[in-house]
């Protein structure tokens, strides 16, 4: 054997033989009897076998363990604290600041669900009070005075992260007593760094460590798997009462088996998630991931998953030289891509005929609009529009109207106000950013508009083209991915003028509204936004309805946007697909047409463009113009893929002296 081969073999044996001793210590530290604290709490005593984790029994066969071949210090994440471990063995594979306490946000609801499950009876029914409905946030759409089974409340709690559902459960069992039971349960599970002040996670004093969250996740995975199973459902409907959509960013991931995420300003993004991963030569391992204080939980979790598949091995010494390990060592390095993928959809209007269809055909479940199978991917998995969205880094669309239960109908010729449950469905489908600048956002007045903005924020969907005042409306929504900042602005060239945003400038009081293309500071707004990001997307609601060719006004506004720094210009309003154009160093799609709309009277209005852009770090890009087709019940039934083509920008002319 040559010397390089010996060195390679030695390295393989070394990294394979190096067990994660910290993980084993962690596993043994959480194995103790819990019964005394649990009995005092009034909760049912858990079986002594129901440990959060289990130690691998001593056997004659070779010991199996995790090993990490990476010597570079682990994955690079935005989270201040994280832990990754095997929920069967309790072994910690990766961790950072695992015992530092941070706010939990809605991850708190996992404990809320556990306690409610332990103390409820099969036919417990809660009555929703006015104080419950007054809780911050609207997800769940509970109504004061309605009666609902406590078992059913688990669905809005875990699918839509409903704060109202959390408070309804706590109030039904006695709020102070319920929160006390949450803390007692934490003690029994040896979650020594955890404390709860409310059942929802709104309180900044709901704090924990990623180590404690790993313990809780391990317990749920082994003893309460039905709770985690709820978090993998696309939606859940109570006939003639409610339909709730799953807002998880990981829904649809092949290896995802459950979890819960949260967000508040103090907590930033938080998450607990479970994946079954093929880290051994055969079978898969249940891996728990907990993150606190993340600025991009989705990217962090995806980075961890890639890191595990690249570097982590579960097995014994005898496996060190197997072909499987050799192949794992040879996998490519994990690096951030040098490009961002963006998907742009057209007008989304889920009122009127779409609402009627959803009620009649889908039991009021709006997530069904985006879930219809489009056939199978090359690897054999079913594919839907939601799957396409979730493979994109950023998804943008135009929300044609408000989604609210507030406001007064302004009696316009066509007046749209969508069901509020539309917003969680859009989040669950994978939408990242929505334009709220169009001619229908004022159909139910300013209060419906303000309510819609609040609901979008609650569901972590960014919005642009409007705001609670002029400053917010003119500030770009910014998403940072792979070290690239992408900004979004939106303008309406179709009014309504009475809905323009004002305030906090020139002594005016704040007034929520949209950003108009006629704004006297139009050029400055775009120029300022472009300076804040690497690449700027500007959306316009402009053009003439049902015209397949853009007009002079559209061209003027689009060119001005590019001249002031826009890289991409995306149009809406005509309800049909229009042409595209390359202008200088910008790409313009004048109208994407309808994405979901009820204009079933013509073929062009029942289809639209789903534009996929791959934007490279150096500004070069490719474009793929897909065509989406609606069926008679307004589901996305077919996506005809376009050809991915490199965008040929105009050459930048330089003058020599």
The Cα–Cα gap between 337 and 621 comes to 14
* Residue 118 three-state SS: helix
Within 8 A by CB and 6+ apart from 570, the residues are 344, 396, 537, 538, 539, 540, 589, 592, 611
Return the bridge partners of 342, or none: 394, 613
Sign of CA dihedral 69, 70, 73, 76: negative
Q: How far is CA 54 from CA 37, 194, 219, in A?
A: 21, 22, 10
Q: How far is CA 90 from CA 21, 22, 46, 362, in A?
A: 11, 10, 19, 42
Q: How far is CA 185 from CA 146, 179, 217, 348, 495, in A?
A: 29, 10, 13, 44, 55
Active site residues: 106, 109, 161
Give the DSSP H or E segment for 326: helix 323-329
Contact criterion met (CB below 8 Å) for 512 and 449: yes
CB-facing half-sphere around the CA of 371: CA atoms within 13 A: 17
Residue among 137, 174, 169 nearest 155 (CA): 169
* Residue 396 three-state SS: strand
Q: Is 141 left (phi over 0), alpha (psi -120 to 50) or beta?
A: left
* Residue 579 three-state SS: coil
Max intra-chain CA distance, the chain: 87
User: Three-state SS across 186-223?
Assistant: HHHCCCCCCECCCCCCCCCCCEECHHHHHHHHHHHHHH
Two tokens at 73?
A: 């210090």
Number of residues in the chain: 657
- Chain centroid offset of residue 10 CA: 43
Two tokens at 537?
A: 């997307």
What is the DSSP-derived secondary structure letter of residue 318? G
- The crossing angle, in degrees rounded to 10, of helices 175-188 and 163-172 is 100
Residue among 38, 21, 371, 348 nearest 190 (CA): 38
* Residue 525 three-state SS: helix
* Residue 607 three-state SS: strand
Contact criterion met (CB below 8 Å) for 484 and 535: yes
The Cα–Cα gap between 42 and 180 comes to 10
User: Three-state SS across 220-260?
Assistant: HHHHCHHHHHHCCCCEEEECCCEEEECCCCCCCCCCEEEEE
Residue among 232, 338, 308 nearest 77 (CA): 308
């Amino acid at each position: 054997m040559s010397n390089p081969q010996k060195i390679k073999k030695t390295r393989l044996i070394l990294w394979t033989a190096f067990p994660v001793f910290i993980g084993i210590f962690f596993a043994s530290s959480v194995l103790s009897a819990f019964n005394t604290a649990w009995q005092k709490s009034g909760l049912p005593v858990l079986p002594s076998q129901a440990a959060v984790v289990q130690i691998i029994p001593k056997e004659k066969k070779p010991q199996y363990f995790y090993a990490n071949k990476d010597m570079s210090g682990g994955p690079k994440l935005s989270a201040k604290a994280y832990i990754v471990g095997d929920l069967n063995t309790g072994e910690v594979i990766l961790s950072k600041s695992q015992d530092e306490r941070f706010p939990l946000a809605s991850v708190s609801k996992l404990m809320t669900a556990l306690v409610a499950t332990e103390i409820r009876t099969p036919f417990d029914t809660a009555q929703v009070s006015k104080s419950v409905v007054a809780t911050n946030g609207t997800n769940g759409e509970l109504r004061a005075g309605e009666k609902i089974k406590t078992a059913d409340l688990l669905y809005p709690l875990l699918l839509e992260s409903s704060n109202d559902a959390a408070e309804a459960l706590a109030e039904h069992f006695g709020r102070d007593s319920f929160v006390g039971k949450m803390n007692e349960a934490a003690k029994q599970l040896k979650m020594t760094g955890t404390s709860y002040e409310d059942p929802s996670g709104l309180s900044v004093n709901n704090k924990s460590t990623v180590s404690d969250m790993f313990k809780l996740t391990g317990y749920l995975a082994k003893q309460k798997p039905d709770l985690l199973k709820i978090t993998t459902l696309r939606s859940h409907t109570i006939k003639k009462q409610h339909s709730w959509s799953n807002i998880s960013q990981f829904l649809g991931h092949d290896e995802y088996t459950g979890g819960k995420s949260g967000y508040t300003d103090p907590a930033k993004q938080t998450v607990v998630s479970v994946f079954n991963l093929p880290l051994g030569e055969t079978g898969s391992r249940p891996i728990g991931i907990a993150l606190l204080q993340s600025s991009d939980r989705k990217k962090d979790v995806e980075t961890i998953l890639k890191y595990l598949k690249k570097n982590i091995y579960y097995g014994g010494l005898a496996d060190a030289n197997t072909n499987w390990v050799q192949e794992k060592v040879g996998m490519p390095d994990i690096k951030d891509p040098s490009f961002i993928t963006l998907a742009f959809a057209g007008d989304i209007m889920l009122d009127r005929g779409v609402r009627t269809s959803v009620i009649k055909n889908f039991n009021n479940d709006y997530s069904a609009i985006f879930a219809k199978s489009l056939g199978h991917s090359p690897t054999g998995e079913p594919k839907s529009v939601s799957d396409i969205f979730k493979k994109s880094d950023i998804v943008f669309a135009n929300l044609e109207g408000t989604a609210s239960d507030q406001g007064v109908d302004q009696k316009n010729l066509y007046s749209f106000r969508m069901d509020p449950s539309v917003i969680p469905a859009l989040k669950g489908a994978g939408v990242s950013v929505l334009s709220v600048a169009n001619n229908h956002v004022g159909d139910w007045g300013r209060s419906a508009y303000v309510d819609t903005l609040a609901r979008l924020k609650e569901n972590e969907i960014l919005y642009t083209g409007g705001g609670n005042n002029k400053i917010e409306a003119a500030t770009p929504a910014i998403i940072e991915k792979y070290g690239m900042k992408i900004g979004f602005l939106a303008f309406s060239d179709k009014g309504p003028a009475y809905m323009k945003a004002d305030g906090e400038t020139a002594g005016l009081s704040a007034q929520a509204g949209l950003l108009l293309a006629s704004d006297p500071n139009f050029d400055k707004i775009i120029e300022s936004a472009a300076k804040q990001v690497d690449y700027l997307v500007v959306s316009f609601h402009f053009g003439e309805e049902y015209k397949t060719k853009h007009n002079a006004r559209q061209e003027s506004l689009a060119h001005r946007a590019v001249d002031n720094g826009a890289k991409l210009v995306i149009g809406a309003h005509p309800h049909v697909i229009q042409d595209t154009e390359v202008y200088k160093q910008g790409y313009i799609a004048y109208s994407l047409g309808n994405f979901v709309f009820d204009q079933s009277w013509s073929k062009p209005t029942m289809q639209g463009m789903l534009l996929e852009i791959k934007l490279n770090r150096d500004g070069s890009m490719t474009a793929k113009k897909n065509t989406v087709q609606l069926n008679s019940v307004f589901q996305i039934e077919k996506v005809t893929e376009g050809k991915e083509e490199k965008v040929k920008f105009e050459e930048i002319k330089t003058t020599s002296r």
